[in-house]
Amino acid sequence: MFKVKLDCLENRGQIATGDAEFCALCKGVFNQLSKLADEGDKQVWLCEFCNHKNEVMIGPEEVPQAPEVTYILEAAAQVEQLQEETKQAAAQQTDTISIVFCIDISGSMSGGMRLSTCKTAVAQQVV
């Protein structure tokens, strides 16, 4: 049994641009606890999960500084454009609105004019 804190979903953590670095062997992610080493003219990350040596090119500003990192996969302009297109598509779809009423016509509704009152109220809403 183990405990997993999901508050990281609410608190977005550090925002980073670019792509995350994944281990070529186990697909572990380069994180704030990962160590970089220089081997000649190569920069190497020794994966802390499987000990695989991964050749990387990570600048000091790209090293995660927080336990949780949110990677931005699309540029802000692309996101804004997509949101605008979604709004326009939603505005065009408003012409084809359907309203569905669910009416209980079981035996419990037939007593005391309940069903006919309900039908009248629904008919007034539709007009």
The pLDDT of residue 74? 62
Q: Name the CATH topology of 7-79.
A: SH3 type barrels. (2.30.30)
Confidence of residue 107 (pLDDT cuts 50, 70, 90): low
Strand extents, DSSP E, the chain: 14-17, 36-39, 42-46, 53-56, 69-72
Instruction: Return the domain boundaries, the chain.
Output: 7-79, 96-126
More confident residue, 121 or 74: 121
Query: Does the global pTM surpass 0.75?
Result: no
For residue 66, which of 10, 12, 3, 126 has the smallest C-alpha distance?
12
For 26-76, the pLDDT digits (tens) are: 999 999 999 999 999 999 999 999 999 999 998 888 888 888 888 776 666
For residue 54, which of 73, 27, 72 has the smallest C-alpha distance?
27
For 8-37, the pLDDT digits (tens) are: 666 666 787 778 899 999 999 999 999 999
Average pLDDT over residues 100-119: 70
